Every structure is written in C-alpha cells, then in structure tokens.
A and B are shown apart, each in its own frame.
Chain A
Amino acid sequence: MTSKEKETRTISQIENGTVIDHLNPHVVFQVVRILEIDDDIEETVTVGTNLRSKAHGKKGIIKISNRVLTQDDVDKLSVISPNATVSIIENYEVVKKIKVSFPQEVKSILACPNPNCVTNVEEIDTRFKLVEESPILLFCTYCERYVQEDEIELL
C-alpha cells in the first residue's frame, strides 16, 4: 500500500461526511468553533491536533460524520487555515477533494482592527477584499483601511 493509499484509508474511516486535513494546528479548535461543533452535536466528530505532516511539520485534522461542508463553511475555514484540504466522503471513499484558497471577499468572519470603523460601532457584518495573498493583505470595504496578516482577528 502506498503512503497515499494509507492516508486515504486513514481519512476515509468515516462512512459519510467531511474530513478537514492539513489544518494549521494552532487553529484546530477555532475551526471547531466556527463550524459550530459543540456539545449538542449528535454526529461522530474526531478532532486531532499536532499530528505529523510531511508538508507542514505538524497538522490538525477534523472528521465530521454525515455533514458536507457548505461553501460558506469552506470560506470561513480558508480564512483561518488557507492550506487546509477538505475531502467529502461517501461510502468510505473520497468523492471530492476541495483545495481551500483564501476567498476574494470575506464577509462577517473577521473583525476590523480599526476601532473607529463603522463595523465596530453599528450592528453590521464586516466585509473585506483580498488585496494580496502572500502575505495576506485585506482591505476593509467600510473604513477603507488595509489590514495586514498579523492584524487579522476572528469575530
């Protein structure tokens, strides 16, 4: 069995659902939170962190049974862990693999670091445009401030 097959077999251990792999290990529990996985969930969820990864040294993994991530979920995920991969599983097989990439527009996920931005004053969603990908540079549609990678904060 090749290492690729081994990996596929390992992450296919749910019958149906989604496997999020290659997560930045520092954000695994943030991802759990933004996907609204909490004590009330009835499906099987496996969360792994600080697992060995060839590409990134360490990684995180989340397996959620019987749930297919929506595009909105993928967009949220891509903002905090742009190197993650999303695999959709059916009958223990990977039927679709989604490479996550930072969205061109980010809505209602991130906070604007400008305290005088209207998004921090009124009850409205934030909205940022992606200006540069590496390092990430965003532009707040409201206060028109550029937001650097180290200033990015989840709401």
Chain B
Amino acid sequence: MASLAGRSVISMRDFTREEILHVIEVTSEMDSEPVKYSNALSGKILATLFFEPSTRTRLSFESAMTRLGGRVIGFADPGASSTKKGESLADSIKIVESYADIIAMRHPVAGSARLASEISNIPVLNGGDGANQHPSQTFLDLYTIMKEKGRLEGLTVGFMGDLKYGRTVHSLAHALGLFGCEMHFVSPKGLEMPSDHLFELSKNGVAYREHANFEEAKGNLDILYVTRIQRERFGTELDYDKVREGYNISSTFLEGCNPELKILHPLPRVDELSEEVDSTPYAAYFRQAANGIPTRMALIALVMGVKS
C-alpha cells in the first residue's frame, strides 16, 4: 500500500479498501493514545480556509491540529479573505501554501478542493466542496461504525432522510460498498438517492434496495444513518409537514428493530430524531461527533508523514 504522506484527501473515490482500513487503524490509535502524538507536529501550521462557514468542521480540524502540537491560521468567512476582492481560488491557494504546511478547506463550489490540490505543493484536506464530497466526515462515520460494530464487512446499513442532497450519504454508501455491505435507502419522494450514485453502486456489485418507508427496511439493520430533511427542499409547508411525520425517529418508531442497531447522524438534527432516542442503546450519534477529532488527527498525521 502506498504511503499517504504528502497526499491530499479530496474524495472517498481516491481511497482503496486497504487505505481506508489503515486510516481507521491510525484513528483508533489517536483515539486511545492522543498524548503520544501531542508534539508530533510541533512547528507545523495548518491553514483552515473556509470559503463557506462551517463552525463544527473547522473547529474540529483546528482542535485536531492543536492536539498534534501544531498551530492554526485561517479564516472562517470568505468576507474576510481576498476572494471578496475577486481573487481566483488558484491564486489564494498559491499564496497560502507559502504560509502553511497543510490546508483544510471548505468551498461552496464542487471540485474546488480537487483544483486546490492540483495547484498546491502542500496537502489539502477537503472539508466539503459544494454538494460533492466531505471525506473527513466519511472517515469519521466509518470509524464510528467500526468502533460500534467491530467490523465494516457485510453489515446491513439503512440510510434515511434526504438522500438526494446529502453528500455524506453518497460518499459513505460508496465506501461501505467496498466492504460488501447491503444497503437500504429510505427517503421521501423527490429526495431519493440520485440515479448516478445508484448506477455506481450497481457497477461496483453492491446490493441495495430503495424503500418508501422505514417499516419495510427496519428488520435486520445493523446501522441506520439518518440525515436532516430540510424545509427548503419542499414547495409548501404542508408538503414538508406531511413528510416530517413519516421521518421522525422515536422510541415507538424503533420497535421491532434489531436490538443491536446503532443510529448515526452527521448532526445537526432537527425533527428527524427525537431526543427520547438519545438515552436508548441505539443512539451512537454523539459518540460519532466526538470521533471527528481522532479521525482528523489521523488524516493530518498521515498526510504530514508522522504516521506511516
């Protein structure tokens, strides 16, 4: 397996099954022994370029770098950068690469992270590029599944909510497809998994089914990955309310599920996941959120070459 040192993390499609398992292994080490790496990146600088606001992802990258002993510079709002003055992304990246050793960026335009990685001489970590990819989220989702279930191979995984616009769903489904997982997609009409993602799953020999309601799918699920359904995706408030009722996960809703089921959610949640579920053994989403730090520590350490 080729080393990840010097590489950028742009898309889950760039990673093989073995590389994913290696990242998970290093994440597990960062999780159990964070102190061991507390000076690993002393003197190194992470630039966080958030051309689109995202407090959680940015703070988590910054916290991960700080825990590795490195320092952080950057901006959280494009209004504070030269982009507002009309600077091209290429120019912004060229300038920043001389200020830092690694870049974490989020940008509203799809493909901007790939472009940045082609221009930059230092590794770029994609913290979200439009509707396309958000690989550090997918790695943390995979790590959570591994930690909760002890394996990635052969699981039965349900995805529920807005599967059309949810990029975390698309890249997680792609990655789990490398591990022979069976997938069930539950979404309201109009928010189904996009056909090109289904095409790609079929092409990769992944077994999947689409469902209009959770009842049909819930029988044997090991994992249920829930995403937020956004009000603005619907024409009227009434349409939204109708859908919301069928997509609210409560304790009653979960009756008859696999007792070992674990629920994941990239958060923030609104109505799709009742607070009463938080205290059930199904809830894994707060542990999932906490896994963002060791995951990003692992990604930074790997591409910076402090972990081989």
Interface of A is mostly: loop
Q: How far is the CA of A146 from the CA of B196 in the complex (A)?
A: 6
Let me know if A116 and B110 touch, CB within 8 A: yes
Pair B115/A124 contact, Cβ less than 8 Å: yes
- Contact A142–B114 (Cβ < 8 Å): yes
Q: Which residues of B contact A142 (CB under 8 A)?
A: 110-111, 114-115
Q: Are A144 and B13 in touch, CB under 8 angstroms? A: yes
What is the minimal beta-carbon distance from B137 to any residue of chain A, in angstroms? 16
**B286 at the A/B interface (Cβ < 8 Å)?**
no
Question: Across the interface, do A141 and B114 meet the contact criterion of CB distance under 8 Å?
Answer: yes
Chain B interface extent, by class: 20 to 34
Cβ of B35 < 8 Å from any Cβ of A?
no
A140-B111 contact, Cβ under 8 Å, with A116-B131, A145-B196: yes
* Distance of A135 from chain B, by nearest CB (Å): 12
Select the residue from B111, B129, B200 with max chain A CB neighbours within 10 A. B111
CB distance from A97 to the nearest CB of B (A): 34
> Given contacts A144-B13, A144-B132, A146-B196, are A118 and B88 in contact (CB under 8 A)?
no
Q: Which of B90, B108, B132 has the most CB of A within 10 A?
A: B132
Nearest-CB distance from B184 to chain A (Å)? 23
Contact A118 B199, CB 8 Å, known A144-B13, A144-B132, A144-B133: no
A117 touches B111 (CB 8 A): yes
- Centre residue among B88, B90, B110, B130 by max chain A CB count within 10 A: B110
Q: Is the CB of B111 within 8 A of A118?
A: yes
Least distance between B107 CB and chain A CB atoms (Å)? 8
Q: Which residues of B contact A118 (CB under 8 A)?
A: 89, 109-112, 114-115, 129
CA A122 to CA B130, docked complex, whole Å: 14
Of the residues B11, B108, B199, contact of A144 by C-beta under 8 Å: B11
Main secondary structure of the interface of B (DSSP, over half): mixed
* CB–CB A143/B90 < 8 A: no
Q: In the complex, A119→B110 CA distance in Å?
A: 9
Q: How far is the CA of A124 from the CA of B111 in the complex (A)?
A: 11
B203: nearest chain-A partner, CB-CB: A131
Q: Which residues of A contact B115 (CB under 8 A)?
A: 118, 122, 124, 142
Kindly list chain A residues whose C-beta atoms are within 8 Å of the C-beta of B108: 116
A121–B11 contact, CB under 8 A? no
A122 to B113, CA, bound (A): 12
A119 nearest CB across to chain B (Å)? 7
Query: Taking the complex as formed, is A5 at the interface, i.e. its CB lies under 8 A from any CB of chain B?
Result: no
Within 8 A of B (CB), among A106-124: 114, 116-119, 121-124
Q: Which residues of B contact A (CB under 8 A)?
A: 11, 13, 88-90, 108-112, 114-115, 129-133, 196, 199-200
Interface residues of A (CB under 8 A from B): 114, 116-119, 121-124, 140-146
Can you list 19 contacts pairing A with B, beta carbon distance less than 8 Å? Answer: A116-B110, A116-B130, A117-B109, A118-B89, A118-B114, A118-B115, A121-B112, A122-B109, A122-B115, A124-B90, A140-B111, A141-B111, A141-B114, A142-B111, A143-B132, A144-B132, A146-B196, A146-B199, A146-B200
| Beyond A117-B110, A124-B90, 16 additional pairs, beta carbon < 8 A | A116-B110, A116-B131, A117-B109, A118-B112, A118-B129, A122-B88, A122-B89, A122-B109, A124-B115, A142-B110, A143-B111, A143-B130, A144-B133, A145-B196, A146-B199, A146-B200
